[in-house]
Amino acid sequence: MKRLDEYRKILTRYWGYTSFRPLQEEILKSIAEGNDTLGLMPTGGGKSLTFQIPALASEGLCIVITPLIALMKDQVDKLRQMNIRAMAIHSGMTREEIDISFDNCIYGDYKFLYISPERIKSQIFEKRVGAMNVTLIAVDEAHCISQWGYDFRPSYLNIAVIRKLVGKDVPILALTATATSKVVDDIMDKLEFRKRNVLKSGFERKNLVYLVRKVEDKNKYVLDTLQKVKGSGIIYVRSRKKTKEIAQFLVPNNIAADYYHAGLNREQRERKQNAWASGKPRIIVATNAFGMGIDKADVRFVIHWDIPDSIESYFQESGRAGRDGNKAWAVQLYYDSDVSRAKDRVNAKFPSVDYIKNIYELLCNFLQIPVGSGKNVVYDFNLAEFVAKYRLSVTQAYNSLKFLEREKYLELTEELNNPSRVYFKVSRDDLYKFQVANASMDGFIKLLLRSYTGMFTEYVPINEEVMSKKSGLSRDIIYKFLVNLSSRDIINYIPGKRTALIIFTEERLDRKSLYISPENHKDVKDKYLSRLDQMIKYVTSQTKCRASMLLDYFGQESVRCGMCDVCMSRNELDLSKYEFDQILDKIKDILEEKPMTADQMVAKIDIDEEKTIKVIRWLLDHDKILKDDSENLIWNS
């Protein structure tokens, strides 16, 4: 296929590889044929190449929709480092920045427009996108479009609008690492696929050993394990406070460790992530904020300290181990109280309808939005200040905001660390005249032009601290020069800031007009509980292969892995899988009909007596069968 040869040349030129992975090649062939395509690729499977390469091979622009602004910025930075023209548009930008960015996408030979989903319904996007030469639409984290998925985002439902604006012949590529069969169907429906087309590599990870360990002292277990096992690893915990506590426990015990969570500023996060990626420190203790965009193949283990909310999130996080194909471990720790604690989280995650309405009113007061105002306005938002002012629970307030987002009243972005930006409003000729007429500004303008390029065509991120070090001027003087040039209409200068954002998608309503559907509230809660129950079942089960449970969840045919804790326990019985399952099925059928003693059971099963006794003992040891007061065996369903 001629187009594939062209794709390989681009792969070698920009990324240095000579061949594609099997699923990458399948997806690329499908895109080359102009098909709508849903690609199910494992974490670390090279998803971004499947849309970046076809875009580079075409004359036009690829629109990439992704929910994580930090990841969006990271990908744009990487493309620009390769001299590929890429642009990111998100809610943290001014209208003028967005306008100039769209001009560049229409007239400036840009190859990629990364856009956050909440911007799709904006008037400026709908007005300008039709003038762009769009050749591909890529949807990252495509499971976010499905209400059956574990991370539903209502703004994803707007994506199909793009098809109407750019023409239905433009192919769409949807990508995700985790999706059940129901979510897969929902993605294709919501994105209006012209025909169903799913390409997947399968969820099986033959090099990854899944272990569940029931331990009373997690600190001791982790320390003992890390002292025996070599290599780099991640320990996932639920609370920010715990990340620091565990890291500080490991370091004095000669384990090089650091911690990571979303409350750290961008510089800290980047420094910690880069240090860990290079092997120093060996262990990172983190919340689930850590992981997106990680490109570290030699992670030998991922340990989950707490029980995750769903199989999807567990599978994605544990899948960060062993991407190099060598043996790696995914370990889930728990003790009995963890199960009840996981169930207790439900109340905090799903506040009452009245509580959600209270949060809406408090938020509008906090942002000083009058009734009837605020639609499509972007507000800086500090969650910590908000909860402190009204003495609220952080968890309940946050989850109330997320539910208001689900009901389409607002959009809540992650915390942004937007650097300062500069754009020259004058031409080079007019700038030269200004420099001649204003000698006191000439040196600073030259410093700015030497330090950064592209400022005449787009807003360019700058760093006042770096300019200060280069010039020997104080940061304050640098700032004053920038403000002076801005006030004289030579540049537009937008000082950097770090904040989350809230966008009101509807005008502020009074309380009686604010409708929160009790049915929707219950439905969302029930779906969450169903996913949590599956995760708890995975953790507490001691009779079924761990890998098989995960594959079954995603609707994939499975066989026993032979390596997980359950399989290793069964392997000690010296029975084949067929023999064990045959005896197990007979025992279950008999005991579900009526209890009986072990001797009666052995006599009733017409299979080797010694093998039957082994299976009975194993089932007793793992609490799958119990004894009643009369020593009868009963099936523990």
Which of 218, 269, 219, 267 shows the shortest CA–CA distance to 240?
A: 269
Confidence grade of residue 1 (pLDDT, cut at 50, 70, 90): low
- Asked if residue 529 has pLDDT above 80, the reply is yes
Encode pLDDT of 193-235 as tens digits: 999 999 987 788 889 999 999 999 999 999 999 998 899 999 9
Q: Do 301 and 257 sit in the same domain of this protein?
A: yes
What pLDDT score does 528 carry?
92
Confidence grade of residue 586 (pLDDT, cut at 50, 70, 90): confident
For 475-479, which contacts have Cβ atoms below 8 Å and span 24 or more sequence positions?
478/444
| Tokens representing residue 67 in the block | 């929910």
Q: Do 360 and 387 sit in the same domain of this protein?
A: yes
Encode pLDDT of 424-444 as tens digits: 999 999 999 999 999 999 999
Encode pLDDT of 10-24 as tens digits: 999 999 888 888 899
Cα–Cα dist 264/287, whole Å? 12
Tally of CB atoms within 10 A around 164 = 11
What is the DSSP secondary structure assignment for residue 369, as one 8-state letter?
Answer: P
Residue 505, domain CATH: 1.10.10.10
Q: Do 143 and 285 sit in the same domain of this protein?
A: no
What pLDDT score does 637 carry?
66
What pLDDT score does 410 carry?
92
Query: Which of 315, 334, 353 delimits the end of a domain?
Result: 334
What pLDDT score does 189 carry?
94
Query: Which of 334, 354, 369 delimits the end of a domain?
Result: 334
Q: Is residue 563 part of a domain?
A: no
Which comes out higher in pLDDT, residue 254 or 73? Answer: 254
Residue 615, domain CATH: 1.10.10
Q: Do 222 and 194 sit in the same domain of this protein?
A: no
Q: For the residues 383-410, what does the mean pLDDT come to? A: 92
Q: Is residue 621 part of a domain?
A: yes
Q: Is residue 613 part of a domain?
A: yes
Q: Is residue 541 part of a domain?
A: no
For 302-318, give one letter per residue: b (16+ CB within 10 A) or e.
Answer: bbbbbbbbbbbbbbbbb
Q: Do 17 and 165 sit in the same domain of this protein?
A: yes
Give the mean pLDDT of the chain. 90
Q: Do 121 and 161 sit in the same domain of this protein?
A: yes
- Asked if residue 7 has pLDDT above 80, the reply is yes
Encode pLDDT of 441-468 as tens digits: 999 999 999 999 999 999 999 999 999 9
What pLDDT score does 289 carry?
82
Encode pLDDT of 81-95 as tens digits: 999 999 999 888 888
What pLDDT score does 293 carry?
62
Which domain covers residue 276, as residue numbers?
A: 208-334
Which comes out higher in pLDDT, residue 84 or 575? Answer: 84
What pLDDT score does 501 carry?
87
- Asked if residue 167 has pLDDT above 90, the reply is no
Encode pLDDT of 325-353 as tens digits: 899 999 999 998 999 999 888 888 899 99
Q: Do 310 and 382 sit in the same domain of this protein?
A: no
Upstream peptide bond of 595 is cis (omega within 30 degrees of 0): no
Query: Which of 200, 235, 252 delimits the end of a domain?
Result: 200
Confidence grade of residue 2 (pLDDT, cut at 50, 70, 90): low
Q: Do 267 and 155 sit in the same domain of this protein?
A: no
Q: Is residue 508 part of a domain?
A: yes
Q: Judge residue 85's burial from the number of C-beta atoms within 10 Å of its C-beta, 0-12 exposed, 13-18 middle, 19 or more buried.
A: middle
Q: For the residues 367-393, what does the mean pLDDT come to? A: 92
- Asked if residue 551 has pLDDT above 70, the reply is yes
